[in-house]
Amino acid sequence: MSTAPAALPPTPLADELAGRIARTGPISVAAYMEACLHDPVHGYYRRRNAIGRAGDFITAPEISQAFGELVGLWCAVTWQLMGEPSRIRIVELGPGRGTLMHDALRAVRALPAFRNAIEVQLVETNSVLEALQRATLDNEQVPIRWCSDMDACADGVPAIVVANEFLDTLAITQWVMRDAKWFERCVGIDDGGRLAFVERAPAADFVAPPAIGQRAHDGDVFESRSPAFAALAAKLAAVTPLVAALFVDYGHLAPTLGDTLQAVRAHRYDDPLSAPGEADLTAQVDFAAFTAEVCGRGLVCDGPMTQAEFLGALGIAERASHLMAANPGKAIAIETAIARLMAPGGMGTRFQAVGVRSARLAPLPGFATVDNRAGAP
């Protein structure tokens, strides 16, 4: 990807936000992200088909069918670990084009006892993507329903939750260090009336993690999405007494300094302020902050481990050989796609997988082999 060329005229949401800021003052980066992604009229995740070659970015299930297939088999083994309940809800957060679920359901066709127990729940806010998901999953022989919030499935049925590239969409707050003090980074307007980053005193209760505070220099940015993680954890804990979840996303293992807010439009990086509502806006996931917020409340985390380690543990090499043998004409394309998912320094290590489970469950499939806890041998 390269940086987008010449600036375009302001988007309708840019005008709306500039008006709001002129009336009531700068807004937090979290409020800006929330508006860009979820504004009921102009939000990026309300009405765009963002994913795939024709969209703004491409994701693992769109790169290789093996990704969704392995996630489907992971769900089946997780169901066995849960004691093979007669009803199991497979919840996907942010299902995109429905590709992961389509591949997952195909992979478990050979396991009728599991397939017969499945009720799928797709949690999606984007009506355009929901329509695509309905078309992709039209012929599946399992009950599927849609909702815009995970709360809608809090009815006690054991649940397996999967989410690829969902955590990176949750709103972040940013702070910047100036003269040994933290200021909150906000979105205001400049003298020309254009959206611009500005700084203001942080909330009275703001405290940076000590390791971060000690390392920060003038101009360094610290970001956090702890409130969003805490809200997600509360929902996971409330969905049912028996839950297992798999999150795969890009990010870092320890809290770090740096501005990772990024806008992507038509496969190019863009200025996060230049096209609100028309570019995808995400930020790296801090997996240490995620596990710190999610563990507790009766939930335990497994991992994180790199996407390459996780897919390797689930048998991606065997799956690739099988696919290549069955489709010799496509062998090179299959190999190239899988190499992209596993690439060291690329998706294989930039993406991490983390499991979340009810405390009474054993470690989730794929995670049992690696112990990333501090002090682990």
Return residues touching ligand SAH (CB under 6 A): 45, 51, 59, 61-62, 93-96, 100, 123-126, 129, 164-166, 169
Output the smallest distance, CB 223 to ligand SAH, in A: 18
249 vs 302, beta carbon nearer ligand SAH: 249
Q: What length is written for the chain?
A: 377
Output the smallest distance, CB 48 to ligand SAH, in A: 8
Output the smallest distance, CB 57 to ligand SAH, in A: 8
Q: Exposure of 72 by Cβ count < 10 A (0-12 exposed, 13-18 middle, 19+ buried)?
A: buried
Q: Which helix (H) or strand (E) holds 121?
A: strand 118-123
CB-nearest residue to ligand SAH:
94
Q: CA 157 from chain center: how many Å? A: 24
DSSP letter for each residue of 302-355: EEEEEHHHHHHHTTHHHHHHHHHHH-GGGHHHHHHHHHHHH-TTTHHHHEEEEE
235 vs 357, beta carbon nearer ligand SAH: 235
169 vs 260, beta carbon nearer ligand SAH: 169
Output the smallest distance, CB 105 to ligand SAH, in A: 15
Please give the Cα distance from 317 to 334 (Å, whole number). Answer: 11
78 vs 169, beta carbon nearer ligand SAH: 169
Output the smallest distance, CB 58 to ligand SAH, in A: 8
162 vs 242, beta carbon nearer ligand SAH: 162
Please give the Cα distance from 281 to 33 (Å, whole number). Answer: 7
Structure tokens at 302: 């497994």
Q: Which DSSP state fits 295?
A: S
164 vs 358, beta carbon nearer ligand SAH: 164
Output the smallest distance, CB 45 to ligand SAH, in A: 4
Residue 33: CB atoms within 10 A of its CB come to: 27
